[in-house]
């Protein structure tokens, strides 16, 4: 089944029916073809980890506090040399032209308008240079290792020349398991949906011999290892963050090797199905690396309350993935900017009621480990499972 192109209608005004950031997820049902929606909303395999990401937030309550002095409150933060007005970063999301004709360019414009940091994907539909030109000064580049080192180095040099302030190296998907939901919906990547940054590069994957495993001797052949990461870090003066960290032992090794920071992430449930929820892995990783190393969180954010909980459990800031794409699909740059504004205000309201004037005031003492009744957070648009609680 071929995928129908996304709507080309522009939205000079905000769409009706958006009262919180997550409303963009609901409106995306009508903005996108069903197969494309299944691809974006789904995870790997049977969506076990996808569901776990959202369910993890319901296991924490937030303590309200009284009579706190909050008139000097703010959400400012510094991540390395990057100063931000708030802890909401736009996650690297591939192929955004699937949902909007201007794709990553509009996302970058929204980041600039809201003083947000965008993490541009290697697999973007627009060139990293064009994304950088549309974004504000807070822009990072997400890097996938390429089959040949010279191709990886070329991407790195382009990112440096375009003024990106940090590298985010994704290491948790040396292979990409299939999404059963997307396959059953008939999703296929359109032939004109290409990774603009890789045009002309030798990105051919090795093929296994007749006697070898398609996985081990094929897809995993040439996958990056510790030596690959050391080589990359030696090639640049940019701070290097590693995305896809879930195990404390990996976090400890990365900290010892001098990376700038970690991104606790299970790739939005798109890597190993059955991996722990990012929120469950976060406290142990923070405990392992201490308070000085930067730690970002990625996985299931849908509200300011979710952001608060992630920070309380050890994150310095969070990455916004699917919400970003839903808002882009519904209303382009304006939608993404509006979603970020709503999410920031939800966080500020939560901080105010929890008695936290700054992000530094948010900690484990702000939470109560007690399951609460969860409001459905559905992005399963497969019909019979529409009310499922998914990331």
* Predicted confidence (pLDDT) per residue in 15-45, tens digit: 999 999 999 999 999 999 999 999 999 999 9
Predicted TM-score (pTM) of the model is 0.91
d(CA 84, CA 76): 6
Q: What is the pLDDT of residue 204?
A: 56
Instruction: For residue 81, give Cα distances in angstroms to 58, 137, 164, 279, 287.
Output: 34, 12, 12, 26, 23
* Predicted confidence (pLDDT) per residue in 41-97, tens digit: 999 999 999 999 999 999 999 999 999 999 999 999 999 999 999 999 999 999 999
Is the predicted pLDDT of residue 178 greater than 70, yes or no? yes
- 383 band by pLDDT with thresholds 50, 70 and 90: very low
Is the predicted pLDDT of residue 233 greater than 90, yes or no? yes
- 222 band by pLDDT with thresholds 50, 70 and 90: confident
Annotate 58-95 with b (16+ C-beta within 10 A) or e (fewer). ebbebeeeeeeebeeeebebebeebebebbbbbbbbbb
Mean pLDDT of the region 194-223: 72
Q: What is the pLDDT of residue 6?
A: 57
Is the predicted pLDDT of residue 376 greater than 50, yes or no? no
Question: For residue 323, which phi and psi values (nearest 5 degrees)?
Answer: -60, -40
Both tokens of residue 78?
A: 């510094």
* Predicted confidence (pLDDT) per residue in 258-300, tens digit: 999 999 999 999 999 999 999 999 999 999 999 999 999 999 9
User: For the purposes of burial, counting CB atoms within 10 Å of the CB of 202, is it exposed (0-12), middle (13-18) or buried (19 or more)?
Assistant: exposed
Mean pLDDT (the chain) is: 90
Q: Are 122 and 101 in contact (CB under 8 A)?
A: no
Is the predicted pLDDT of residue 350 greater than 50, yes or no? yes
Q: Selecting from 3.40.50.620, 3.20.20.70, 3.30.1370.60, 3.30.70.3190, what CATH number does the domain 23-192+233-367 have? A: 3.20.20.70
Is the predicted pLDDT of residue 387 greater than 90, yes or no? no
Q: Are 138 and 76 in contact (CB under 8 A)?
A: no
d(CA 224, CA 276): 23
The total number of residues shown for the chain amounts to 391
- 201 band by pLDDT with thresholds 50, 70 and 90: confident
Sign, Cα dihedral of 37, 41, 43, 47: negative
Catalytic residue among 86, 100, 126, 267: 267
Instruction: For residue 97, give Cα distances in angstroms to 12, 106, 183, 190.
Output: 19, 10, 20, 10
Q: Return the minimum-mean-pLDDT range out of 58-67, 174-183, 211-220.
A: 211-220
Q: Where are the domains of the chain?
A: 23-192+233-367
* Predicted confidence (pLDDT) per residue in 299-310, tens digit: 999 999 999 999
Q: What is the pLDDT of residue 206?
A: 54
- 384 band by pLDDT with thresholds 50, 70 and 90: very low
Q: Are 47 and 390 in contact (CB under 8 A)?
A: yes
Q: What is the pLDDT of residue 348?
A: 98
- Residue ranges of alpha helices (H) inside the chain are 23-31, 34-41, 48-57, 103-113, 128-134, 149-161, 180-184, 226-234, 248-256, 278-289, 304-312, 322-353
- 378 band by pLDDT with thresholds 50, 70 and 90: very low
The answer to whether 267 is a known catalytic residue is yes
Q: What is the pLDDT of residue 385?
A: 31
Is the predicted pLDDT of residue 3 greater than 50, yes or no? no
d(CA 306, CA 12): 30
Q: What is the pLDDT of residue 371?
A: 67
Mean pLDDT of the region 310-323: 98
Q: What is the pLDDT of residue 211?
A: 63
């Amino acid at each position: 089944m071929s995928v129908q192109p996304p709507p080309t209608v522009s939205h000079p005004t905000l769409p009706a029916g958006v009262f919180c950031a997550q409303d963009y997820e609901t409106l995306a049902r009508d903005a996108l073809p069903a197969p494309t929606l299944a691809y974006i909303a789904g995870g790997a395999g049977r969506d076990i980890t996808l569901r776990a990401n959202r369910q993890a937030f319901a296991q924490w309550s937030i303590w309200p506090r009284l009579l706190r002095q909050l008139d000097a409150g703010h959400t400012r933060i510094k991540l390395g040399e990057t100063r931000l007005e708030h802890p909401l970063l736009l996650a690297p999301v591939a192929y955004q032209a699937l949902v909007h004709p201007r794709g990553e360019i509009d996302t970058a414009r929204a980041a600039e308008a809201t003083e947000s940091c965008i993490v541009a994907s290697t697999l973007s539909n627009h060139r990293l240079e064009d994304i950088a030109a549309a974004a504000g000064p807070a822009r990072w580049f997400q890097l996938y290792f390429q089959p040949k080192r010279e191709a990886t180095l070329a991407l790195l040099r382009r990112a440096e020349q375009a003024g990106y302030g940090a590298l985010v190296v994704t290491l948790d998907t040396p292979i990409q398991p299939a999404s059963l939901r997307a396959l059953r919906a008939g999703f296929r990547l359109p032939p004109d949906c290409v990774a603009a940054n890789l045009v002309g590069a030798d990105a051919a994957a090795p093929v296994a011999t007749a006697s070898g495993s398609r996985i081990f001797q094929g897809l995993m052949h040439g996958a990056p290892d510790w030596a690959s990461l050391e080589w990359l870090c030696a090639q640049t003066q940019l701070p290097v963050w590693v995305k896809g960290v879930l195990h404390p032992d990996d976090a400890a090794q990365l900290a010892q090797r001098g990376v700038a920071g970690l991104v606790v992430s299970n790739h939005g449930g798109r890597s190993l199905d059955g991996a722990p929820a990012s929120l469950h892995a976060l406290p142990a990783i923070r405990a392992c690396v201490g308070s000085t190393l930067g730690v970002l969180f990625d996985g299931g954010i849908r509200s300011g309350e979710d952001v608060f909980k992630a920070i309380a459990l050890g994150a310095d800031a969070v990455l916004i993935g699917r919400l970003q794409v839903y808002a882009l699909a519904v209303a382009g740059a304006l939608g993404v900017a509006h979603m970020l504004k709503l999410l920031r205000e939800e966080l500020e309201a939560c901080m105010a009621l929890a008695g936290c004037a700054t992000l530094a005031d948010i900690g484990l003492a702000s939470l109560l480990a007690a399951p609460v009744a969860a409001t459905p957070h559905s992005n399963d648009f497969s019909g019979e499972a529409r009310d499922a609680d998914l990331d």
